[in-house]
Structure 1
Amino acid sequence: MKITTRKTALSGLAALGVAALFAGCASAPSDSGNASGAPVASDFVPCMVSDSGGFDDKSFNQLGLEGLTAAADTLGVKPVSVQSNSDADFAPNISNLVDQNCNLIVTVGFNLAAATKEAAAANPKTNFAIIDDNSIVSDNVKPIVFDTAQAAFLAGYASASYSKTGVVGTYGGMQIPPVTIFMDGFADGVAYFNQAKGKDVKVIGWDVKSQNGVFTGSFQAGTESKQAAQGLIDQNADVILACGGPIFLSAAEAIRDSGKPISMIGVDADLFETDAQNKDLFLTSIMKGMKPGVESVTVDAAAGKFNSTPFVGTLANDGVGIAPFHDFDSKVDPALQGELDKIKADIIAGTITVESPSSPK
C-alpha cells in the first residue's frame, strides 16, 4: 500500500471562503455594499453554466449555484444561470453568457474544461472560474479544486470500521480525476484501517494500483447506475460509495430493493441534509466546499480582486471534510470518532500523507 501526498498552501481565497464550508452562510454585507468592504459596480453580472447533471442534482451543480446565489444576495446583484442537458450544450451556453455581458462565468465540472478554455481565450476581458479542473493556465481563469482524497480517506476508514460483511464497494459516473480521486482516497482509507487493526476489509469496484473500476459512463441516475450498485450488493458490500452527482439516487433504489442493511457514503454535500428521502442510508458524506469557494470567488471578482491563483480545498483549510454520522452516531464504534480526529490531525501534520494520481497539482 502506497499512501503519499503533498501539502497545499492556503490561498487568499481560502481565507475568505473555507470558513463557511460547514456553516453554509456568507458574512453579512458591509455598508459599502459587500462582505469584503470594497465597492461593487451595480451592473456586475455573475453567471454559471452547469454540467449535464443539472442544478437539482443535490450535489456539485446545486452547491455551485447555491454559492453563486449567496454571493449575488450579498452583493445585491442578479445572477444568471444556464443548465446544460448534454455535453453539446457547454460551448453554446458559455457563449450565451458572454453575449449577456457576464463579468464572471463559473463553469461547473471537469467536463467543461475544453469549452471554458476556448471561451476564455476568445474573451480575455471576461473572468472565468471552473470547478474541479486546474488544467487551464490563463490570467482570466481561476480553478476551484479540492483534494478530496484526504476526506475520502477518512470515509474509507469509517466504512471499514462500520462494515459487518467485511466488504465495501464504490463505483463512479465518468472515469475522470474529480471522480477517481474520491475512489482512491476511499480505498486507501480502508487499507489504512486494515493495516492499523490487522483486518482484511475488501474494497470492490475500484483498484487503486491499476486505476480500473466500475463506471456508469455518465452522471445521470438510471439503469446503468442501479445495475452498478446491484453488482456491488451481489458481492456482499454493505457500505457503498457512489461518485458522480445524482447517480447515488439509483444506488439508493438498489439498496431499498435489496432489503439488506446497506449504508452509503455521500459525496460533495452532506446528503443526509440534502436528500430527505434517503437520509437514513448515509453513514457519512465526503464534502467539498464548492458553495463557499464559488461565493468567495464571486465576491472577490465583484470587488476587483479576481486572480488566477487556484483555490485548493484540503483538510488543513477545511475545504474538504466528512459529515457527522447523524443517525449512525450510536451505531458506529464509540472509539471511531476519536480515531478519525487523530487521523485527520496526522494528515494535516504530514505524519500520514495521502495521494491520488488525481490530486490537484
Structure 2
Amino acid sequence: MRRVSRLSQVAVAVASLALAASACGKTSSEAAQEEGGKEQGSGASSSYKGKGIGLAYDIGGQGDQSFNDAAYAGYTKARKEFKIGGVDMEPGDGESSADKVQRLEQLANQGYNPVIGVGFAYAPAVEAAAKKFPKTTFGIIDDNTVKADNVAGIVFHDEQGSYLAGVAAAKASKAKHVGFVGGVDIPLIHKFEAGFVQGVKSVDPKIEIEKRYLSEKPEEGGFASPDKGQNAAGGQIEAGADVIYHAAGLSGQGVIQEAGSQKKWVIGVDSDQYKHKALAKYKQYILGSALKDIGGAVYDLTKSVVEGDPRTGERRYDLKSGRLGFSDSNPRYRAMKDVVAAVEKAKQDVISGKVKVRTAP
C-alpha cells in the first residue's frame, strides 16, 4: 500500500518521517522546504497549543480539481491566517478503515488539532480516534453520524447547489437534452442527482435527462477514474445531451475533458473548476460549477479550535449560509443573461423557502 503525506513545514519533517514510517508510506515535503517555511505557533490565541491542522484526504487525493482540492484551499488559508503548521495526507489505494484510523490517530498523537477527515468514509475512523483522543477536535466532511463531544460533523445541502446546476443546464441546453454523471451510486450522490433533476424540470418538464453512475462502491473507482468519466460523458453526448453535470470527484476531470473536446457544455462541482489550471484547455466549455465551500468549512472549524471555542456537533451549510452556490467565472456564462437571471431567481426561491429541494431521486 502506498500512502503519501505532504508536510507544509520544515520543522515538522523529522516528526513526519516517524509518522510515515508507522503508516507504511513516505513523506513529500520538498516543495515546502524549497519555500523556506518554518512551523510557527498561532498568533490568534495564547490558549492554542496544537501543532496545526491535520488533514486526511478522501479517494482521489489532492489534485482532483474538486472535492479534496476544495478542502486543501481551506487548509492553506487557515494555516496562513493563523500562522500554524499542518500536515495533509493522501489515502492509500484500496485501504481499509483500520488504515484510516491509524492515520487519524497518528495525526492526533503528534499534536495536530483539529484533525479532519475529508469524506464520509472516515466516519468509523473519526469515531474510533475521537474516543482515544478526547482533547483533540475532529472534523468529518459529508457525515453527521459520529456523535461525540469532540467531533464536528460537517454536512452540506448538496441538493440545493445541484438545483441551481439543473436550472443552468436546462436554460443553456439547445437540444433540450442534458446529462448527469455521478461518481458512486450512494445516498450522498443521490442528493446531487435529485437536486439537478428537479432544477432541470423546473425549467422544462419535457427536457430529457441522461443519468449514469460510474460504480456501485467507492473502492471500485467511481470517484478516482477519469477514464470512466470520459466514457460516460461520451455516451451521454452520443445519446444527444449537450450539457452534462458531474458529481464524480477526480473522475469528473474525464467528464470535463470529453465534453470540452466535443464542444459541449459541462458543469463542474464542489470547487470553481473553471479556475483550475489542469482544466484550462476546456474551461471555455465549463458553464459553471455547483460550489460547495468545503474549504470554508475547514477554515471555520480550524478558526474555532485556534480561538479556543471548538465548534463541534452537526455543522450544516446551505445556500443561505453562503457556503453553497453556483460560480459565474466563465464570461460566456455571464453573457447568457437569461441563464444568469434564472439561476439567481432559483437561488432566492430556495433561500426564501418558496422552493423545497428534494434529497432523493
TM-score calculated relative to the size of structure 2: 0.80
CA deviations 1:311-340 (Å, max 9, x no partner) are 2111111110000162323663x3232222
Query: What is the rounded CA distance, in whole Å, between the counterparts of 2:257 and 2:327 in structure 1?
Result: 22
SS in 2 for 1:57: coil
Distance 1:302 1:330, change over 3 A: closer
Query: For residue 272 of structure 1, what is the amino acid of its counterpart?
Result: Y
Alignment match, 1:59: 66
Q: 1:69 aligns with which of 70, 76, 80?
A: 76
Query: What is the rounded CA distance, in whole Å, between the counterparts of 2:290 and 2:207 in structure 1?
Result: 20
- Cα deviation for residue 109 of structure 1 reads 0.6
SS in 2 for 1:171: strand
SS in 2 for 1:342: helix
Alignment match, 1:12: none
SS in 1 for 2:146: coil
Q: 2:146 aligns with which of 129, 136, 144?
A: 136
- Does residue 1:276 correspond to 2:280, yes or no? yes
Q: Please give the residue correspondences for 1:97-176 in structure 2 after superposition, counting only pairs within 5 Å.
A: 97-176=107-186
Asked if the contact 2:167–2:202 (Cα under 8 Å) also holds between the matched residues in 1, the reply is yes
SS in 2 for 1:91: helix
Q: Please give the residue correspondences for 1:1-361 in structure 2 after superposition, counting only pairs within 5 Å.
A: 33-34=43-44, 38-41=45-48, 43-86=50-93, 87-88=95-96, 89-195=99-205, 200-205=206-211, 213-216=212-215, 217=220, 218-256=222-260, 260-274=262-276, 275-324=279-328, 326-329=330-333, 332=336, 334-357=337-360
TM-score calculated relative to the size of structure 1: 0.80
**Unaligned ranges ≥5, structure 2:** 1-41
The one of the two structures with greater contact order (alpha-carbon pairs below 8 A, sep at least 6) is: 1
Query: What is the rounded CA distance, in whole Å, between the counterparts of 1:327 and 1:247 in structure 2?
Result: 25
Asked if the contact 1:220–1:247 (Cα under 8 Å) also holds between the matched residues in 2, the reply is yes
Query: What is the rounded CA distance, in whole Å, between the counterparts of 2:354 and 2:158 in structure 1?
Result: 18
Q: CA RMSD in A?
A: 2.0
**Unaligned ranges ≥5, structure 1:** 1-31, 206-212
Asked if the contact 2:53–2:85 (Cα under 8 Å) also holds between the matched residues in 1, the reply is yes
SS in 2 for 1:46: strand
Asked if the contact 1:267–1:286 (Cα under 8 Å) also holds between the matched residues in 2, the reply is yes
Asked if the contact 1:51–1:85 (Cα under 8 Å) also holds between the matched residues in 2, the reply is no
Alignment match, 1:24: none
- Cα deviation for residue 161 of structure 1 reads 1.1
Distance 1:123 1:343, change over 3 A: same
Asked if the contact 2:52–2:85 (Cα under 8 Å) also holds between the matched residues in 1, the reply is yes
Query: For residue 317 of structure 1, what is the amino acid of its counterpart?
Result: S
- Cα deviation for residue 215 of structure 1 reads 2.4
Asked if the contact 1:33–1:40 (Cα under 8 Å) also holds between the matched residues in 2, the reply is no
Judge which range, 265-274 or 225-234, deviates more.
225-234
Asked if the contact 1:145–1:311 (Cα under 8 Å) also holds between the matched residues in 2, the reply is yes
Richer in helix (by share): 2
- Cα deviation for residue 129 of structure 1 reads 0.4
Distance 1:256 1:149, change over 3 A: closer
Query: What is the rounded CA distance, in whole Å, between the counterparts of 2:313 and 2:341 in structure 1?
Result: 35
Query: What is the rounded CA distance, in whole Å, between the counterparts of 2:343 and 2:255 in structure 1?
Result: 26
**Number of corresponding residues:** 310
- Cα deviation for residue 180 of structure 1 reads 2.1
Asked if the contact 2:227–2:251 (Cα under 8 Å) also holds between the matched residues in 1, the reply is no
SS in 1 for 2:320: coil
Query: What is the rounded CA distance, in whole Å, between the counterparts of 1:183 and 1:325 in structure 2?
Result: 23
CA deviations 1:87-121 (Å, max 9, x no partner) are 33423322321231222101101121122222222
